[in-house]
Amino acid sequence: MLAFSLDLMESLDTSTSDYRFVRTHDTTVGPLLKFIGTRPSYDQSKFQHVPISKESLILIHGLVVHKSEANTSDKSRHAYTVHGEEEYKVE
């Protein structure tokens, strides 16, 4: 399997993006989540191949732009989201 990623610093440039996934708070009809803002586009030639071995785990920062090609096998490709938070002592 291959994962694809943009350069880390280019991915972390959020100064021009207002594209967000937000709750609609409407529980009567339609989806509970929607995208707002302008969807960014990326130069596909700048994505870098990152080979991943079978049964490997990769961690990707939430702001890193990444993609993978279509799963053409009959096996599911599992993905998990992990949220971490740092703690700072305030005096």
Interatomic CA distance for residues 24 and 32, integer angstroms: 5
With 60 as the cut, is the pLDDT of residue 1 above it? no
pLDDT digits (tens, 9 = 90+) for 7-30: 555 555 555 567 888 888 877 888
Nearest to 48 by CA among 63, 60, 65, 62: 65
With 60 as the cut, is the pLDDT of residue 6 above it? no
For 9, phi then psi, to 5°, come to -70, -35
With 90 as the cut, is the pLDDT of residue 74 above it? yes
* Buried b / exposed e along 2-19 (16+ C-beta atoms within 10 A): ebebbeeeebeeeeeeee
Nearest to 50 by CA among 68, 65, 62: 68
Domain regions of the chain by residue span? 2-67
Provide the strand spans (E) within the chain: 2-5, 20-23, 33-36, 48-51, 66-67
